[in-house]
Amino acid sequence: MGGMRVIFSAAEIAARVDALAAEIVRTIPAEFVIVALLKGAAVFVADLVRALDRAGARPEIEFMQLSSYGLAKESSGVVQLLGDISAGLAGRPVLLVDDIVDTGRTIAYAAAQLRQRGIGDLWTCALLDKLQRREIEVAIDFVGFSIGDVFAVGYGTDYAEKYRYLPYIGAME
């Protein structure tokens, strides 16, 4: 395996998370539920909820664990629900948060699961968006950074469960 090139530093990520929180607060009612997709979105959501608090929002937090990559660098194309949310969300506004939207399959699957439960309004948020890799038409309402076709790791994103701990986002060479 090759080296790592920093795409976004910890400082750039922190500034963008604060800006995203401000955008979200201007759009979504102050009380909503964040549904974060594990494991990748965990680091991002931890910082995002604190930024949302500073911006005046009061989100609740739920988690869904989905997988389409396993230990590979390419999506299998099949999304699996590994862990479900515990709360009832009927009629409630939801912000669905993922670390990276690539093919679009995972976030589309999660959105469909949530809509089947009769949620209220649904918005989507991704730290990283790879538009050129889209296989499923899905709109992301709040995007941290758009990136090209690189394999990004760090700040929650991984390769075979490694590199999630990095404070920056890097591209594997």
Among 99, 154, 105, which Cα is nearest to 129's? 99
Q: 136 to each of 44, 106, 145, how far by Cα in Å?
A: 23, 9, 19
Active-site position among 98, 102, 129, 158? 102
The tally of CA atoms less than 13 A away on the side-chain side of residue 119 is 22
- Tell me the C-alpha distance between 168 and 116, whole Å: 35
Show the tokens assigned to 75: 């999506």
Question: 102 an active-site residue?
Answer: yes
CA 162 to CA 12: how far, in whole Å? 22
Catalytic residues: 102
